Amino acid sequence: MDPSFWWDNQQVVKQLEKTDLNQIKNKRFYLSTADKFENFDRIPHVFTANINSHEKFNTTLKNKGFSPSNIALDYFKEENHWTVALMSLYNGMQFIYKGLKMKNMDSSSINEIELYYKDNYNGSFLPPENDINSLGYSFLMNNPKKALTYFKLNVKNYPKSSNAFDSLGEVYFNLDDKVNALKSYKKSFDLDSNNKNALKMINKLN
């Protein structure tokens, strides 16, 4: 967020030019620049040098083989060094995590969904529980066996989620598998004793 790369004669940028960046070429870089000349009346060269250093940093990354789509240099013409932080944080997070929400998830297979989240961000994120749960329910009535695969994925990824086991119990109940339905509802209730639906189904299945 508007880093002072001008400092020490742009030492950071010079060091970047000498550094082997092959291990992080697939990472995303976001850099913001406060483009409003304010509070630099006595040292205008600092303002100019800092913008120049940001542009040089950006160019250096590209010259080292980084994809332009993985680099963002954001100019804020109406912000200064002190006011740019909040907008930079918001825009930066949007850029860094722009692929976190899988597009066309509802038309993708469960294997494609799992592979997508393994391949992106070094597998640091799992398919979102709510999204997988919604997909499971979209198949619950017409294709409960397919719905089962989504609910199973959720309990694997979120073993401490009462709601995930509650949904699994529901699909087992729809498949007339009362043994596994009861197990799932019991697990759901163990995780959250306030889950009235799980308790109701446990009493129904006992």
pLDDT at 198 over 60: yes
Q: How do residues 51-101 score in pLDDT, each as one tens digit?
A: 888 999 999 999 989 899 999 999 888 888 788 899 999 999 999 888 888
120 burial type by CB count under 10 A (0-12 exposed, 13-18 middle, 19+ buried): middle
Rounded-to-integer distance, Cα 115 and Cα 199, Å = 35
Structure tokens at 150: 């989504």
Q: How do residues 131-188 score in pLDDT, each as one tens digit?
A: 999 999 999 999 999 999 999 999 999 999 999 999 999 999 999 999 999 999 999 9
Task: Tally helices (H) and strands (E) across the chain.
Answer: 9, 2
Q: Read off the pTM.
A: 0.71
CA-nearest of 101, 9, 14, 103 to 57 is: 14
pLDDT score recorded for residue 43: 58
| Coil, helix or strand at residue 30 | strand
